[in-house]
Amino acid sequence: PAVAGFNACPTTVNNVETLACLPYIVNEGPEAFAGFGPPNNAGTHLVSLSGHVNQPGVYEVCMDVTLKDIIYGLGGGIRNGKKLKGVIPGGSSSPVLTAEEIDVEYNFDALSKAGTMMGSAALMVFDEDTDVIKLLHRITRFYNHESCGQCTPCREGTHWARLIVQDFLKGNGNERKMKRLQRVGGNMMGTTVCALGDAAAMPITSFVKKFPLEFEKYYTQAAA
Ligand code: SF4
């Protein structure tokens, strides 16, 4: 659309969230809008809450709300009385957080400090029964499919990552493959033409870092 969009003319595309904020900003002034939320993270934000919560949905929040408040307040907690295992806080590319890491404000700065990001503000919550290796496999399959193949680290990395995670699911995982998976993800970071390389790498490296025992469980059970 930047070159040819509406009537084949260059077109700026805004998302609905941006347009929905405009009447308030025009009528009440930018200072009033900026009054919502903490400094540098002003205004309200729409979050899309999905996964194993009692009340999934799209919520408008001020960005001083915590991730915990979103999950247990707005989301009504984890369904069927289960415990939380983790949350992907900003779309599948954002580094995963464990249940112990959700006491963090849901805004750009705080999430960045926590080693993740707000991204698309699409939160995916998963409970204690979730097989995170299967979850990561789904994510790696997606990015492998999306890679256009132009850059070697992304083309090969997304392919290898999918195959390595698949190895764990087949009972062929081991510690060496865990390290290789981490290395494959690391090699994609900052080495590609577009952002998809980084987007594919961040879930890989964060899942290995945050849930090493889940990987271990796969290969120790297979060996038993
Ligand atoms: S990083 Fe972007 S341009 Fe490079 S192969 Fe992946 S999808 Fe294509």
- Per-chain mean pLDDT for the chain: 95
Q: Is residue 25 part of a domain?
A: no
How many folded domains does the chain comprise?
A: 2
| pLDDT the model gives residue 206 | 98
Per the CB < 8 A criterion, the answer to whether 107 and 37 are in contact is: yes
Tell me the residue range of the domain where 203 lies.
132-223
Three-state DSSP state, 211: coil
Name the residue at shortest CA distance from atom 8 of ligand 1: 148
pLDDT for residue 89 is more than 80? yes
Q: Which residues line ligand 1 (CB under 6 A)?
A: 147-151, 154-155, 192-194, 196-197
pLDDT tens, position by position, 92-104: 999 999 999 999 9
How far are the Cα atoms of 1, 3, 4, 13, 121 from residue 8, in angstroms, in the given order? 8, 8, 5, 14, 31
pLDDT for residue 73 is more than 90? yes
State which of 127, 155, 185 marks the end of a domain: 127
Query: Domain check: are 145 and 213 in the same one?
Result: yes
How far are the Cα atoms of 75, 88, 106, 203, 214 from residue 71, in angstroms, in the given order? 5, 12, 11, 20, 23
Query: Domain check: are 102 and 141 in the same one?
Result: no
Q: Give the C-alpha separation, 89 to 96, whole Å.
A: 7
The mean pLDDT of 87-94, rounded to a whole number, is: 98
State which of 69, 95, 127 marks the end of a domain: 127
Name the residue at shortest CA distance from atom 4 of ligand 1: 151
The mean pLDDT of 152-178, rounded to a whole number, is: 97
pLDDT tens, position by position, 190-218: 999 999 999 999 999 999 999 999 999 99
| pLDDT the model gives residue 224 | 74
Query: Domain check: are 148 and 121 in the same one?
Result: no
| pLDDT the model gives residue 221 | 82
Ligand 1 binding pocket mutation candidate from 145, 154, 184, 187 (most atoms within 8 A of CB): 154
pLDDT band at 164 (very low <50, low <70, confident <90, very high): very high
Query: Domain check: are 154 and 112 in the same one?
Result: no
117, burial (CB in 10 Å: exposed 0-12, middle 13-18, buried 19+): middle
Q: Which CATH number is 140's domain given?
A: 1.20.1440.230
Q: Is residue 145 part of a domain?
A: yes
Q: What is the largest CA-CA distance in the chain?
A: 67
Q: Is residue 9 part of a domain?
A: no
pLDDT tens, position by position, 117-140: 999 999 999 999 999 999 999 999
